[in-house]
Amino acid sequence: MRAIANVMLDKAEEDALTKMVEAGLFQSKDEAARAAIIKYASDLGIFSPDMLWKKIDRYKRRKVTPEQLKKDLKAIENET
């Protein structure tokens, strides 16, 4: 990933990004802004849903058995 430029935001736009992060929808305002750009490009027809899914499918997924998932969830519960 590379930084392209700084983006100047109005207060309302900054507040919207902050609320998305506070609601737990995104990890950071950067992530929320990137998702918004992709969504807007998709709405405009620049990206098709098929093309987006092909990009997602390129990433390797972690193979997890149901037993391993239970262990992982238990470990997370014990952290809190």
Question: What is the pLDDT, as a whole number, of residue 80?
Answer: 66
Locate 43 and state its tokens: 């709405």
Question: What is the pLDDT, as a whole number, of residue 1?
Answer: 66
Examine the pLDDT at 2 and tell me if it is beyond 80. no
Higher pLDDT, 14 or 56: 14
Q: State the chain's mean pLDDT as an integer.
A: 87
Which residue, chain included where needed, has tokens 């952290």? Answer: 79
Examine the pLDDT at 15 and tell me if it is beyond 90. yes
